[in-house]
Chain A
Amino acid sequence: MSGHDHHGFAHVASPKLLLTTFFVLIALTLLTVLTAGTPLVGPFGAVIAMGIATVKAALVALFFMHMYGDKPFNVIAFLSSFLFASLFIGLTLLDSSHYQNEIDAFPRTPPVVTPK
């Protein structure tokens, strides 16, 4: 085969890049575990934890999934899923209080604790 013109499409990640990404991910995991529930994050704990998770997700996507060297169309297709997922969650949340009165009025049977 001719071959020579087909070797250019592999984006080989360097060991240094992979290891750096990994250790940053571990550091962020430790950070999120150690700060959870401490006065350091205060009432914004959930927001900060989600922020750290998003940074970690971005690192995984960019370097482990080598999105940084991928075709823009693939990147747009993938990121669009987050757009639609947030629309899904956001619009559902907007509508979720509408029937709260009826839900509260609905009689519920108490949970029955049965022997295991």
Chain B
Amino acid sequence: MALAETEHGTETHAEHGHHDHAPFIAHHFDGPEQQFDSGKLGIWVFLVTEILFFSGLFVAYTLWRSHHPEIFEQAHVFLDKVLGGINTVVLLFSSLTMAWGVRSAMLGNNRNVALMVLITMVCAAVFLGIKAIEYSHKWDLGIKVAAQWQYTASHAAATFPVAKALGVSDWLIRLSIVPTITLIGFAVTAVILQLVKQPLWSKFFAGMVVMNLGYFLGVVGGQLYMKATEGGTGGHAVAVPHLQPASLIRELGTVQDEPAPAAGSQEPAPADDHAATDHPANTPAADGVDHDHPAGSETAGGHADEHAGDHAAHADPHLPDPAKLSRDVGIFFSIYYCMTGLHAFHILGGIAFLSWIYFRSLRGDWRPDYFGPVDYVGLYWHLVDLIWIYLFPLLYLID
């Protein structure tokens, strides 16, 4: 749907024998409306393939939930309803600004389209920032896909100097490498383009800087939330006691119930005797030291109040006892990471498409008879929101 035919001179005009082509109309279309309708059908068909694409993951989800509801009940306590809810609101708001941008494009108000699309991109980046907080927190706890399940109810210690300095996890630093590089790249490019008198492109890259800062806004906001709730719970779902059925936590058992909180982590969990009372994981280790995390080298127990503010290794007394979880609880997270990961890639793709719309808005391409690309990207963006509308209750609100 590019600005295909700018060379649409009198020859074309004479050949086709109809009225003058506007510069944005590809020569095989009769006029703006036919071009718009064709593009619109095209994007709807694309959205159909997207839904069918995601439906495979919904099949996996439905099968596992219908046959093994217990792993969903055990796993959902690791998801934070507040962070998931904030992300839902962020996406809904981005949908509002996107729809408003389409409205502005229809009215030919390019300045407003640029502003609305920029806000939409910032929201997308905030969403990814909060997602990075959620993912890194889980990976710290060893909550990974089923094949790499390493959950021991204790947090990994930060080893990167920068992670130690900032009091965040190694995983958050790893996830933030690319956004940091792009932020610097966008900023440098914007400055250089300003110096070589390319104001349009410079403005575009300045917008990309603002978009990119959205990621760090999400990270900082999410991190502050984690710190605020860490004293009690480490920031996972149990952080919201009034939303969290306490009975479920009791039912699962927490490490707090055990004599030595950190002791259970080094024992491989046998698959079939979870209920056994003499499970090795339930007995205190002889010396009470957390062998998994020599970097922290804290004795088990008595350190729960000391760790606030740093990111040393520690067992979290509020987390479910790994020995009492189903052997298949990792399957939930395989599904969780596939669904939210694929969705996050769609957010990334959305940012790429939106940046193209942003550039063309700065250039002033839209007019009342030519706004198709804004509309098409808008429809795609709303679909990404629509899928999240289903993912949020399916993954976060299991009770």
Contact = CB atoms under 8 A, between A and B. Distances in A.
A33 interface: yes
Of the candidates A1, A7, A34, A92, the one having the most CB atoms from chain B within 10 angstroms of its own CB is A1
B386 A60 contact: yes
A71 B322 contact: no
A105 interface: no
A39 to B, nearest CB: 10
B48 A80 contact: yes
A114 B164 CA distance: 24
B142 A116 contact: yes
A45 to B, nearest CB: 5
A80 to B, nearest CB: 7
Interface in A13-69: 13, 15, 18-19, 21-22, 25-26, 29, 32-34, 36-37, 45-46, 49-50, 52-53, 56-57, 60-61, 63-66
Contact of A113 (B81, B322, B386, B397): B322
Interface residues of B, number: 80
Contacts of A65: 378-379, 382-383
A8 B368 CA distance: 9
Interface residues on A, range: 35 or more
A6 to B, nearest CB: 5
B288 interface: no
Contacts of B215: none
Contacts of B390: 50, 53, 57
B267 interface: yes
B41 A77 contact: yes
Nearest to B291: A115
Contacts of A50: 390, 393-394
Interface stretch (B30-38, B192-200, B221-229): B30-38
A56 to B, nearest CB: 5
Contacts of A60: 95, 382, 385-386, 389
A71 B39 CA distance: 13
Nearest to A91: B59
Contacts of A74: 40-41, 44
Contacts of A18: 96, 99-100, 103
A49 B379 CA distance: 24
A21 B48 CA distance: 23
Contacts of A106: none
Interface stretch (B19-27, B204-212, B333-341): B19-27
B58 A9 contact: no
Contact of A1 (B20, B151, B243, B268): B20
A27 to B, nearest CB: 11
B138 interface: no
A110 B106 contact: no
A73 to B, nearest CB: 7
B55 A57 contact: no
B150 A26 contact: no
A93 B251 CA distance: 29
Given A74-B41, A111-B327, A88 B55 contact: yes
A88 B59 contact: yes
A96 interface: yes
Contacts of A52: 393
A102 to B, nearest CB: 14
B88 A29 contact: yes
Nearest to B329: A111
Contacts of A61: 382, 386
Interface stretch (B61-69, B123-131, B181-189, B349-357): B61-69
Given A80-B48, A84-B52, A110 B272 contact: yes
In the A-B complex, list the 3 residue pairs whose CB atoms are closest, starting with the nearest: A37-B399, A110-B271, A85-B55
21 contacts: A7-B368, A12-B103, A13-B102, A26-B92, A29-B85, A29-B392, A36-B393, A61-B382, A66-B102, A70-B40, A74-B40, A81-B47, A81-B52, A84-B52, A85-B58, A89-B59, A97-B67, A108-B271, A110-B327, A113-B150, A115-B291
Given A22-B96, A52-B393, 18 more contacts: A1-B20, A3-B22, A6-B32, A12-B106, A29-B392, A33-B81, A36-B397, A37-B397, A37-B399, A65-B382, A74-B41, A77-B48, A81-B47, A85-B58, A89-B55, A96-B63, A115-B266, A116-B292
